[in-house]
Amino acid sequence: MAIFGRDLVGREVVDSHGEVLGQLFDVVFDNQLGEITEFLVKIGADLNAELLPWVAKDGVVSVPVADVSRIATKVHLIR
């Protein structure tokens, strides 16, 4: 089953404990490899981006694809 980036945008992103980090804002692709490299997540207003292990800018964190454990109705992270 194929999943398109537009089908993922808007899904909740949760950490390894099931806590909501935010919503998937965008997906970054490597055009040469044809692979997803990063997920851009709009974090919740109650979260401090400086405490997260990923690069953040304007309330959006860049989560490397290696930090994603699975994608279902939510995007699940390994940390």
What are the Cα distances from residue 16, in Å, to 4, 27, 45, 66? 24, 20, 20, 14
Chain-centre distance for alpha carbon 11 = 9
Residue 69: inside a domain, yes or no?
yes
Residue 1: inside a domain, yes or no?
no
Residue 39: inside a domain, yes or no?
yes
Bridge partner list, 78: none
Question: What total of structural domains would you count in the chain?
Answer: 1
pLDDT tens-digit series, residues 46-73: 999 889 999 999 999 999 999 999 999 9
Q: What is the CATH number of the domain that holds 70?
A: 2.30.30.240
Domain extent at residue 65: 8-77
Residue 2: inside a domain, yes or no?
no
Q: What is the pTM of this model?
A: 0.87
Judge whether residue 2 has pLDDT over 70.
no
| Cα distance between residue 46 and residue 40, in whole Å | 18
Sheet containing strand 12-14, edge to edge, reads 55-57, 60-64, 35-43, 20-30, 12-14, 75-77, 68-71
